[in-house]
Amino acid sequence: MMNRSKIHLSSGTVLVLIILFAVLLAGLPAAAQERVVTDDEVNAIAKQLYCPVCENIPLDVCPTLACQEWRNEIRTQLASGMSEQEVINDFVQRYGERVVGTPQDPTLRALSLVTPWLLGLVALLSAGYVLLRWRSNAPQRASGTAVAAGVRDDDYYRARIEQDVMARR
Amino acid sequence: MSEANIPLLEQEESTPRRAGLGPGSIVLLVGILAVIGVFGWALAQRHQTQPTAGSAPDFTLTTYDGQEVRLSDLRGQVVVVNFWASWCAPCRVEAPDLQRVHEKYRDRGVQVIGVAYTDTDTNALAFIDEFGLTYINGPDRGTRISTRYNIQGVPETFVIDQDGNIAKFIFAPTSERALSEIIDGLLASA
């Protein structure tokens, strides 16, 4: 018969184990929040933002110190659990709409939003107008009046040439 | 060859040309004018410069301490508005000078205000701690203040007199001596 050995733990050891377990449990949420953020994740957001110092340079390729700090800020925010859109919204709220390339002047901003739709509408109306004109001109061509006139002219001159050739013989 | 009286070909009646522009031409012309107008407006906006005289654009700054400071509430004092950023090397050079100006004139009706331009809060606060800045400092949320002043970069400093007008615009790192000269002149003329 096997002797089952029993593990006897002193009260001190039990206390240490409990404390260790509690520390591990406390560390788990923190570890879950501070996830590792890759450069690709940072650049996926950075390419949607623009350098605060140099005009029209996307944040992901800008070499300035200001841009480096903004990319670090993006990394920190992603690591804290913010989503891509939340990061962008935060940057817009803090630094203005210029960071996403929107013109700052209210008039230009309105124009930049309205103009593409306006151009599309104008193009559509113009195309419709041209199509209607083509359709209204089409019946005139289908009557073949001009074609008949051309054929008639050829026959006439052919007849005249043959008449002249016969007269020479 | 016998002379043949070849009758003239019947010519199709040509449609008379319309006087004026057709609808397509009008649309094209309006489109071209609109594009020219938009580009012209954009160019005009780009060439706007910092205000160097006249009434200083008013603004409200929320400091890093959470206080709200409105420029117009400081009427009667000389105000030095300094745009800076932690990533700006010349700003690091002039920061101690601005702190000395603040300490020298704060009891004489002069207020120094630092506006952090497109800076992260962490780095801006570290900058303030590094240089021991005790004057008012706050972030330019939405870059609204810097837009009103049309700043082109940092550092840029505006000295505003007691009547709220811009007395001096400094488009370079400033110094205690330069600022003292300007402030002394304004205080003497008051």
Instruction: Give the tens place of pLDDT for each residue, B73-109.
Output: 999 999 999 999 999 999 999 999 999 999 999 999 9
Query: Closest approach of chain B CAs to the CA of A46, in angstroms?
Result: 15
Share of chain A above pLDDT 90, in %: 34
Who among A98, A126, A157 is closest to B143 (CB)? A98
> Could you tell me the two tokens for B39?
């580009």
Q: How confident is the model at residue A1 (pLDDT cuts 50, 70, 90)?
A: very low
Tell me: the pLDDT tens digits for B165-179?
999 999 989 999 999
More confident residue, A79 or A113: A79
Whether the per-residue pLDDT at A3 is higher than 90: the answer is no
Whether the per-residue pLDDT at A14 is higher than 90: the answer is no
Q: What is the ipTM of this complex?
A: 0.72
The three-class DSSP label of residue B20 is coil
Least confident span in A151-160, B5-14, B28-37: B5-14
Contact A108 B38 (CB under 8 A): yes
For the segment A19-43, the average pLDDT, to the nearest whole number, is: 76
Q: What does the alpha-carbon distance between residue B69 and residue B78 come to, in Å, rounded to a whole number?
A: 15
Contact A77, A90 (CB under 8 A): yes
Residue in A99, A113, A110, A109 with CA at minimum distance from that of residue A55: A99
What is the model's pLDDT at position A34? 59
Whether the per-residue pLDDT at B43 is higher than 60: the answer is yes
For the segment A40-68, the average pLDDT, to the nearest whole number, is: 90
Residue of chain A whose Cα is closest to the Cα of B40? A108
What is the model's pLDDT at position A98? 83
Residue in B76, B54, B12, B49 with CA at minimum distance from that of residue B165: B54
Residues of A whose CB is below 8 A from B12: 146, 149
Tell me: the pLDDT tens digits for A121-153?
888 888 888 888 888 876 555 455 555 555 567
Q: How confident is the model at residue A16 (pLDDT cuts 50, 70, 90)?
A: confident
Whether the per-residue pLDDT at B34 is higher than 50: the answer is yes
Q: Which residues, in sequence order, are bridge partners of residue A58? A: A50
Q: What are phi and psi of B78, to 5 degrees?
A: -85, 130
Contact B123 A69 (CB under 8 A): yes
